[in-house]
Structure 1
């Protein structure tokens, strides 16, 4: 049974992402509502892996995810984002199915394990792929489940291709080149599936989320990404900035991504990043 939010929680989520329903229809399970929520969520709630980098496995029960992403105004990674987004959609009456994908973004030749979560969403007029938690290439709009067709979003064009063995591949067009993001099938996933994958990506020694800081947000006209101490802002032009110390990291996390760090977390993050970098180069 899918989980839903209380009226107070739904109102708090709407406030968190800045969604103001213009009329009663805007809180119904329509494609217009789906597009509006999918646009606002990744603009406001950043992708981030602070917990796993600091040695903690994020909890995936809905109460904990809501407390972190909404009440504490933090971010999270794919499971947290898409579990919360699914609960919102289910509360509004959408039909949703949790899926899992093999990530190809950094290594398109690999057959990686299924460690990414996204959603299949049904509306009265169509079927959609929704994904508000893929870091630097998070969708800024849901995609119609229509294989082979280029689809516009507020940012880059995307497409779904049907490939071997009934799998689908999500691709993004960057310049004149189509780049693979992930491959998946339509087998429904259950909380136990995500619990195993969540444990793996937050504890496996070679996991990117154990070894590198990854923070991302997609805002109108621009993608913002922090990878370790490198801040990249890409829109019509691209800029890169190397952060020099914990104070600069704390400032970027707060001023660019809207994250407030308590205590000495910025110092701990920089120490962890430096320790990993030293081990790689030595």
Structure 2
């Protein structure tokens, strides 16, 4: 499996660069901010129960040429390759998602993120955590609150592992727990296989979409489209039918919605479940 991007120039152009930026902390901050705004988090593939290949050639085709987004094993896998080719000291690590559940839970390792060391200081970078993706790198060995272009985050050290929290509505909510265990391609493949195929995966048959913008986040959670502006109440609306969902995916998230014979039916089932919940 190749570990190098073949179309890095197009990737950088999508991020607004005419030439490769230097591997500095300032560049990393800007790359992460731009990436979360340009490439949406989306789970159309798992909604349709389609395979989710994560080799770099497939990722480049989907994200750069087909007008799509993806989830962590796609977005962070490609971002990791970009950082490495730009000269960063970067490697993949994995975590267990706690958001919305108990903090003492031990779910499967289903989240891929990136550890980046710059001038001896370790940071985590993450462009694939859906509606609460951090929009700036975070210092690993610092338990103070850290500002980003969106919410503040902080990292707590706990007996060899780390807990990421975000401040949401005045509360420090747990996002995910992770450690620094080395990961290789097969670890990504196994985690991705679980997320995309296991009956208990929260993504299977579901649609979650997210994208950031200046001072705001946009999310689609099954039947509800929401715009969350910093310091303001969220604005939500329930979408009535599959056509409305597809229009929002195109106009609000910039997704080139794939032609798939089962898409309308899958969306209608999703909306019906949401309405009944």
Q: With the length of structure 1 as denominator, give the TM-score of the two structures.
A: 0.91
Distance 1:220 1:132 in 2: 16
Q: Deviations over 1:226-279 (max 9, x none)?
A: 01110011013210010001111111000000012233564133134146558x
Match 1:44 to one of 35, 38, 41: 38
The match for 2:164 is 170
Alignment partner of 1:14: what SS? Answer: helix
> Which stretch shows the higher mean deviation, 130-139 or 256-265?
256-265
CA distance in 1 between counterparts of 2:16 and 2:181 reads 33
Which residue in 2 is equivalent to 1:215?
A: 209
Moved more, 72-81 or 116-125: 116-125
Partner of 1:76, secondary structure, is coil
Which residue is equivalent to 1:97? 91
In structure 1, the partner of 2:270 is 273
Match of 1:190 among 184, 188, 206: 184
Question: CA shift at 1:32, angstroms?
Answer: 1.4
Q: For structure 2, which runs of at least 5 residues remain unmatched after alignment? A: none
CA RMSD of aligned residues (A): 1.9
Contact 1:226 1:232 in 2 (8 A): yes
Q: Helix, strand or coil for the counterpart of 2:110?
A: strand
Matched, 1:161 2:195: no
State the distance in 2 between where 1:215 and 1:199 align.
20
| Number of residue pairs the alignment of both structures matches | 273
Q: Does 246-255 or 198-207 show the bigger shift?
A: 198-207
Of Structure 1 and Structure 2, the greater helix share is in 1
1:15 corresponding residue in structure 2: 13
User: Alignment partner for residue 239 of structure 2, among 240, 243, 246?
Assistant: 243
The offset of 1:205, in angstroms, is 1.5
Displacement after TM superposition at 1:112 (Å): 0.8
In 1, are the aligned partners of 2:209 and 2:219 still within 8 Å (CA)? Answer: yes
The verdict on how the C-alpha distance between 1:177 and 1:277 changes in structure 2, with shifts beyond 3 A counting, is: closer
Among candidates 2, 9, 22, match of residue 28 of structure 1: 22
In the alignment, the residues of structure 2 paired with residue 187 and residue 20 of structure 1 have an alpha-carbon distance, to the nearest angstrom, of 35
Matched, 1:5 2:5: yes
Which residue number in structure 2 is paired with residue 261 of structure 1?
A: 257
CA distance in 2, matches of 1:171, 1:90: 27
Residues 189 and 233 (structure 1 numbering): CA distance in 2 closer, same or farther, change over 3 Å?
same
Report if aligned partners of 1:49, 1:215 keep a CA contact under 8 Å in 2.
yes
**Pair 27,72 (structure 1): closer, same or farther in 2 beyond 3 Å:** same
Report if the CA contact (8 A) 2:241-2:268 is conserved.
no
Separation (CA, whole Å) in 1 of partners of 2:125 and 2:24: 14
